């Protein structure tokens, strides 16, 4: 029980149209509930999962965008977003929702969980993880 | 399988979670609580209402650890602790209170 592994969940697909994005989020919440070290990576079309103002009324599926904002409550503190993937899609950090966590070591101050990083830094994040799961 | 409330039937699954979240009413909560051998009082309503608000905002029913932490943050440590929450809902604050609140089984509960 004492071994905490670093899990990195890699999200490469658009939020709707397939079940991958929602399933990934469910697995993340389960993993985090078991107190593993969980971080998420968003690249390629996966960056669309974090865009603001989603409305799924027209396609009749659940809008799970608000659930990302609960990740802070689950102590998920790192959501890596690849800058190149954003730029290739005409997006910037301003187009993304806000996700915060409370830093235990800093008087529970709210800090942003989303970190926009370069493709090279993303490779380092992947190398640093014990387990990489791709969705 | 179904609950009976005011002459109406409300479907639920084999564990007692209602099938259509939109079917929930406060009267139904009392019926589910009774089936769980729980008497609803102000303290229990406070938790059930908290869960419904949480679901409304985040679209998920929180895991028990997250629930207790959030209750601690909003209602204070005298309520946001395991002992208090398990006294109110002996079969698990997240599982049982979510059932009464008409929410799905919390993500991460087996």
Please check the confidence at residue A1 and state whether its pLDDT lies above 70. Answer: no
Q: Is the pLDDT of residue A92 over 60?
A: yes
User: Which pLDDT score is estimated for B109?
Assistant: 57
Q: Which of A44-48, A59-63, B26-30 bottoms out in mean pLDDT, i.e. has the lowest?
A: A59-63
pLDDT for the residue numbered B106:
81
Rounded Cα distance between A24 and A40, Å, is 10
SS3 A39: strand
Name the residue in chain A with its Cα closest to that of B59: A67
Provide, rounded to the nearest whole percent, the portion of chain B with pLDDT above 70.
96
Q: Is the pTM of this model over 0.80?
A: yes
pLDDT tens digits, B48-82: 999 999 999 999 998 888 889 889 988 899 999 99
**Range list of H helices, A34-77:** 65-68
Q: How far apart are CA B56 and CA A69, in angstroms?
A: 12
According to DSSP H, which parts of A3-118 are helical? 20-33, 65-68, 83-88
pLDDT for the residue numbered A82: 98
C-beta atoms of A70 and B107 within 8 A: no
Q: Say whether residue B34 is in contact with chain A using an 8 A CB cutoff.
A: no
| pLDDT at B92 exceeding the cut of 90 | no
pLDDT tens-digit readout, A8-41: 999 999 999 999 999 999 999 888 877 788 999 9
User: In the predicted model, what is the mean pLDDT of residues A36-47?
Assistant: 95
For tokens 């019926």, name the residue: B31
- Between A36 and A2, the higher pLDDT residue: A36
pLDDT at A2: 57
What percent of chain A has a predicted confidence (pLDDT) above 70?
99
CB-nearest partner of A33 from B58, B65, B70? B65
The residues of B annotated as belonging to the active site are 109
Q: Is the pLDDT of residue A105 over 90?
A: no
Contacting residues of B for A69, CB less than 8 Å apart: 57-58
Contact A4, A130 (CB under 8 A): no
Pull the structure tokens for residue B90.
């002996």
ipTM: 0.81
Q: Which tokens hold the place of A96?
A: 């993304």
Task: Determine the 3-state secondary structure of B93 from DSSP.
Answer: helix
Q: What is the mean pLDDT of chain A?
A: 93
CA–CA separation, B109 vs B99, rounded Å?
A: 13
Interface probe for A, chosen from B63, B107, B109, B110 (most Cβ of A below 10 Å), is B107
> Which phi and psi (to 5°) does residue B18 adopt?
-70, 150
Q: Is B92 left (phi over 0), alpha (psi -120 to 50) or beta?
A: left
pLDDT of residue B96: 93
Cβ neighbours around A67 below 10 Å, total: 19
What is the Cα–Cα distance from B61 to B58, expressed in whole angstroms?
8
CATH class of the A6-134 domain in this structure: alpha beta
Residues of chain A found within 8 Å of residue B70, distances taken between Cβ atoms: 73
Fold of B2-100: Arc Repressor Mutant, subunit A (1.10.10)
B70 → chain A, closest CA residue: A73
């Amino acid at each position: 029980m004492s071994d905490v592994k670093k899990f990195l969940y890699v999200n490469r697909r658009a939020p709707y149209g397939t079940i991958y994005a929602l399933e990934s989020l469910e697995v993340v919440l389960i993993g985090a509930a078991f107190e593993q070290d969980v971080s998420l990576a968003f690249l390629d079309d996966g960056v669309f999962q974090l865009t603001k103002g989603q409305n799924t009324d027209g396609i009749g599926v659940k809008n799970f965008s608000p659930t990302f904002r609960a990740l802070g409550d689950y102590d998920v503190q790192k959501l890596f977003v690849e800058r190149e993937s954003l730029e290739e899609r005409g997006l910037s950090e301003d187009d993304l929702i806000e996700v915060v966590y409370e830093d235990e070591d800093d008087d529970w101050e709210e800090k942003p969980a989303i970190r926009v990083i370069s493709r090279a830094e993303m490779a380092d994040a992947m190398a640093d993880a014990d387990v990489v799961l791709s969705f | 399988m179904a609950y009976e409330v005011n002459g109406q039937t409300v479907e639920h699954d084999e564990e007692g979670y209602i099938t259509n979240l939109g079917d929930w009413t406060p009267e139904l909560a009392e019926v589910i609580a009774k089936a769980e051998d729980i008497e609803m009082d102000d303290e229990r309503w406070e938790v059930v209402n908290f869960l419904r608000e949480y679901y409304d905002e985040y679209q998920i029913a929180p895991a028990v650890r997250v629930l207790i932490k959030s209750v601690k943050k909003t209602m204070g440590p005298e309520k946001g602790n395991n002992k208090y929450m398990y006294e109110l809902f002996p079969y698990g604050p997240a599982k049982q209170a979510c059932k009464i609140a008409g929410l799905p089984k919390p993500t991460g509960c087996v």
